[in-house]
Structure 1
Amino acid sequence: MTAMLRIACRVISRRVEDGENVDKVLTDYPRLTPDEIAEIKAELGVTE
């Protein structure tokens, strides 16, 4: 996981902890590739 992806993962994690939907949060990051999204979801323990 790259440094930028780790930062994005922490920010996304905080937003999800604050009650936002992970898929909605991820739409705010349109440059993420499907592989990066899968990596973030795996890190957060989110299942499809």
Structure 2
Amino acid sequence: MNALPTNIDIAKARLPATYEQAKIALASCLFVGAHDRFRRKAYEAILAMKKRR
């Protein structure tokens, strides 16, 4: 098994493009998740108002 290097200079490390793409995809998922929670709460509020009438 290959050992991991112990002397990595983080300031000079280059991240692969797939990592950058993964960050964008994750941010999109978080946005969609937040939107879905907001939509669900709005729907629940509408149902609650409907029951009161």
Same fold (TM over 0.5): no
Q: So what's the TM-score if we normalise by structure 1?
A: 0.37
More helix by share: 2
Computing the radius of gyration from Cα coordinates, the structure with the larger value is 2
Q: So what's the TM-score if we normalise by structure 2?
A: 0.34
